[in-house]
Structure 1
């Protein structure tokens, strides 16, 4: 049996993730949010792929900014 778990005091162990190295999420910052909002206000029929090409971020990040951060949703009136 492995004794590594027995030797640690349970009150001293942490259950939270340690900080990891890697690329930070910078595609959802306020600069990109304001630029996406500006492009939508200029042309409300603009497509997500066009926004992602214009700004230079992924289409998934554009969708996240539009739906979750800006709160826009698709409205169809006929």
Structure 2
């Protein structure tokens, strides 16, 4: 069974860097580990004006943009 990580919304920073929106893994553990690493990388490599967080949905992981983090420098 495949497990997915989905980047819920692509901010302008992610679009500029052509970040993919879905990644697929064979194991849930691998997907979970990668989801947290990916969210951390997004938090550290983009404008810093908003944050990304992990939400578990069934056996998949959604990386969402944290509320209150929307600014003109990095629009959703």
Higher percent of residues as strand? 2
Structure with higher Rg: it is: 1
Q: TM-score scaled by structure 1? A: 0.27
Higher percent of residues as helix? 1
Higher relative contact order (CA 8 A, sep 6+): 2
Q: TM-score scaled by structure 2? A: 0.27
